[in-house]
Amino acid sequence: MSIWRILKYPDPFLNKIAEQVPEGEKEIKKFVDDMFETMYSARGIGLAAPQIGMGKRVIVLDVSPVDETAKPLALINPEIIVKEGREESEEGCLSVPDLTVKIQRAQNVTVSGFTPDWKLIQVEAEGILSVALQHEIDHLNGTLIVDYLSRLKREFYRKKVKKMLARRM
């Protein structure tokens, strides 16, 4: 297993739409292990493949730091098939440092997708798992939490990041 580098906003790769993984691809299992290791080392509760520079529809989640009954979950080619209710919560992202954004999302979702062994499953989620699933699937479609900010706030954040990056050089 190895730890990958997590891309940060404003890396343009984060805005790309990820591609479906061809069904049955065996190498995906090792990649999923790397994603989990990368996520845990960054102390995240979710990670999407585009965040480590891979344009594939793969997400991993482990929300057990927030909900101790939760188990690690990896989904290949996930799709939201049911959305119910509305709920707002404060979200952060490993690719978007020093920012949290209040985002309205569906309260409950049902997501279908494949396990790393290519078994088709459906996951019914509420609470933090529902939020995390929608957040990670957003990444597969090139959407970041900054995209939920007003234009003014987004511009403010973009300038702040630019200044941070300039200071590092």
**Stretches 1-9, 29-37, 92-100, 160-168: which one binds Ni ion (CB under 5 A)?**
92-100
Distance from the Cα of residue 9 to its chain's centroid? 13
| Complex with Ni ion: residue 93 or 109, whichever CB lies closer | 93
Nearer to Ni ion, 66 or 120 (CB): 66
Minimum CB distance to Ni ion, residue 136 (Å): 7
Listed ranges 30-38, 76-84, 89-97, 153-161: which one lies at the site for Ni ion (CB under 5 A): 89-97
Quote the CA–CA distance of 6 and 134 in Å, as a whole number: 19
- Does residue 115 contact residue 75 with C-beta atoms inside 8 Å? yes
Run of H or E residues at 103: strand 96-105
Active site residue 27: no
Residue 13 or 118 having the CB closest to Ni ion? 13
Q: Are 39 and 52 in contact (CB under 8 A)?
A: no
SS3 48: strand
Minimal distance, residue 91 CB to Ni ion, in Å:
8
27 burial level (CB within 10 Å; 0-12, 13-18, 19+):
exposed
Could you say whether residue 61 binds Ni ion (CB under 5 A)? no
- Stretch of residues binding Ni ion (CB under 5 A), selected from 21-29, 53-61, 71-79, 87-95: 87-95
Place of tokens 């529809």: 57
Q: C-beta of 153: minimal distance to Ni ion in Å?
A: 18
Phi and psi at 90, nearest 5°, equal: -90, 125
Residues 127-156 that bind Ni ion (CB under 5 A): none
For position 63 contacting Ni ion by CB under 5 A, the verdict is no
Q: Which residues bind Ni ion (CB under 5 A)?
A: 93
Residues marked active site are found at 136
